[in-house]
Amino acid sequence: MKAAVLYESFQPLVVEDLELEAPHEHEVLVKLTASGVCHSDLHYMKGDREHPLPVVLGHEGAGIVEEIGPGVTYAQPGDHVVLSFVPTCGHCSYCVKGRQNLCEARYQLRGKMLDGTTRLRKGSQDIHHFNGLSTFGEYAVVPEDSLVKIREDAPLDRVALIGCGVPTGVGAVINTAKVKPGSSVVVIGAGGVGLNVIQGAVLAGAEAIIAVDIHGNKLEHALQFGATHLVNAATEDLMERVRDITRGEMADYAFEVIGSTDAINQALLTTKRGGTTVVVGVAPTGAELTIDPDFLHLDRVLMGCTYGSCYPRADMPMLIDLYMARRLKLDELISATFKLDQINTAFEALDQGEVARSIIRY
259 binds ligand PAD (CB under 6 A): yes
212 binds ligand PAD (CB under 6 A): yes
Written as one string, the DSSP assignment of 7-71 is -STTS--EEEE-EEPPP-TTEEEEEEEEEEE-HHHHHHHTTSS---SSB-----EEEEEEEE-TT
Which of Zn ion, ligand PAD, none does residue 189 bind to, with CB < 5 to 8 Å depending on kind?
ligand PAD
Given a contact cutoff of 8 angstroms between Cβ atoms, the answer to whether 333 and 127 are in contact is no
Pick from 194, 157, 212: which is nearest to 358 by CA? Answer: 157
Active-site residue, 183 included: no
From the candidates 39, 43, 80, 128, which is the catalytic residue?
A: 43
Strand partners of residue 254: 186, 277
Q: Residue 351: phi, psi to the nearest 5?
A: -65, -35
Report the residue number, 4 or 258, with the smaller CB distance to ligand PAD. 258
43 binds ligand PAD (CB under 6 A): yes
From the candidates 38, 89, 95, 310, which is the catalytic residue?
A: 38
Active-site residue, 59 included: yes
C-alpha dihedral, 211 to 215 to 216 to 221, nearest 10°:
-50
Which of ligand PAD, Zn ion, none does residue 191 bind to, with CB < 5 to 8 Å depending on kind?
ligand PAD
Please tell me the distance from the alpha carbon of residue 327 to that of residue 316, in angstroms, as a whole number.
Answer: 14
Q: Residue 72: phi, psi to the nearest 5?
A: -75, 130
268 binds Zn ion (CB under 5 A): no
Parallel, antiparallel or unpaired: strands 14-17 and 2-5? antiparallel
40 binds Zn ion (CB under 5 A): yes
From the candidates 164, 183, 310, 358, which is the catalytic residue?
A: 164
Size of the site for ligand PAD (CB under 6 A): 31
164 binds Zn ion (CB under 5 A): yes
88 binds Zn ion (CB under 5 A): no
Pick from 248, 51, 84, 52: which is nearest to 166 by CA? Answer: 84
Report the residue number, 27 or 256, with the smaller CB distance to ligand PAD. 256
Active-site residue, 38 included: yes
Contact pattern for ligand PAD over residues 83 through 122, marking x by CB under 6 A:
----------------------------------------
Helix axes 216-224, 194-203, angle to 10 degrees: 30
Active-site residue, 40 included: yes
350 binds ligand PAD (CB under 6 A): yes
Parallel, antiparallel or unpaired: strands 61-68 and 27-37? antiparallel
Q: Tell me the catalytic residues.
A: 38, 40, 43, 59, 164
- Residues of this chain that interact with Zn ion (CB under 5 A) are 38, 40, 164
- Residues of this chain that interact with ligand PAD (CB under 6 A) are 38-40, 43, 164, 168, 188-194, 212-215, 218, 233, 257-259, 263, 280-282, 305-307, 350, 353
